[in-house]
């Protein structure tokens, strides 16, 4: 990724990440994102380039990235997984109710 916007996103994410860890005296152990479509926040679209920058920063810090694809996965956005839009593989992807048609197996 070489666009100016990607570079801006990456730099700001690094600053925010480092500031959070220093001020809160905590280490970020994983990054969980709803890729492209934020279902929990009212079906809002998120810039995939920003999410890619976040993933790249996390990877540089050896922090695993988890996709929660309940709202956007399995062709809801026209692709089998949002990894096709973001062009990066998560360490873990969760599809939950998409695989069971909303039913729970109890």
Q: Are 67 and 94 in contact (CB under 8 A)?
A: yes
The pTM of the full predicted model, rounded to 2 decimals, is 0.78
In tens, the pLDDT along 46-63 reads 788 988 999 999 999 999
Pairing relationship of beta strands 37-38 and 44-45 according to DSSP bridges:
antiparallel
Residue percentage of the chain with pLDDT more than 90: 40
Q: How far is CA 80 from the centre of its chain?
A: 16
Q: How far apart are CA 23 and CA 32, in angstroms?
A: 21
Q: How far apart are CA 36 and CA 77, in angstroms?
A: 9
In tens, the pLDDT along 80-97 reads 566 767 788 888 877 766
Residue percentage of the chain with pLDDT more than 70: 69
């Amino acid at each position: 990724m070489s666009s100016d916007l990607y570079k801006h996103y990456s730099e700001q994410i690094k600053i925010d990440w480092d500031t959070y860890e220093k001020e809160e005296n905590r280490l970020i152990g994983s990054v969980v994102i709803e890729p492209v479509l934020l279902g929990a926040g009212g079906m809002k679209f998120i810039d995939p380039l920003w999410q890619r920058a976040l993933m790249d920063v996390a990877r540089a810090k050896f922090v695993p990235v988890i996709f929660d694809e309940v709202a956007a996965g399995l062709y809801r956005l026209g692709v089998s997984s949002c990894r096709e839009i973001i062009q990066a593989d998560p360490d873990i992807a969760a599809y939950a109710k998409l695989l069971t048609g909303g039913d729970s197996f109890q």
